[in-house]
Amino acid sequence: MARRYDTRTTIFSPEGRLYQVEYAMEAVSHAGTCLGIVAADGIVLAAERRFINNLLDETAFSEKIYKINEDIACAVAGITADATVLINEMRLISQR
């Protein structure tokens, strides 16, 4: 049976729990690592791809490093679909 307290981040359960926050923390624990290194002559961005689900096709991977504009890049850890919204917003803001 579905809980009525797990649909919003601002509704506490009778036990005082925020289920949406707990779900997000669980997703973070499965996310791959992202790393950015600044050197004297450049910057290195690296992102780990994790294949947790054996049912997923490993050849159909999603990108983890995105170019925002000529001066900005972004590395993504976790669910790429969630990050796509933020990346598109960053691209729009950088065009202004």
More confident residue, 1 or 32: 32
pLDDT band of residue 1 (cuts 50, 70, 90) is very low
Question: Do residues 75 and 35 make contact, with C-beta atoms less than 8 angstroms apart?
Answer: yes
Rounded Cα–Cα distance for residues 58 and 65 (Å) = 17
- With 0-12 / 13-18 / 19 or more C-beta atoms within 10 angstroms meaning exposed / middle / buried, residue 80 is middle
**Residues with Cβ < 8 Å from 30, sequence gap 6 or more?**
50, 52, 78
Q: For the chain, give every domain's residue range.
A: 48-95
Task: Tell me the pLDDT tens digit for each residue of 47-88.
Answer: 887 766 666 665 555 688 999 999 999 998 877 777 889 999
Task: Tell me the pLDDT tens digit for each residue of 14-58.
Answer: 888 888 888 878 877 777 889 999 999 999 999 887 766 666 665
Q: Residue for token digits 């990050």?
A: 83
The secondary structure of residue 29, as a DSSP letter, is H
89: nearest Cα among 68, 75, 71, 73: 68
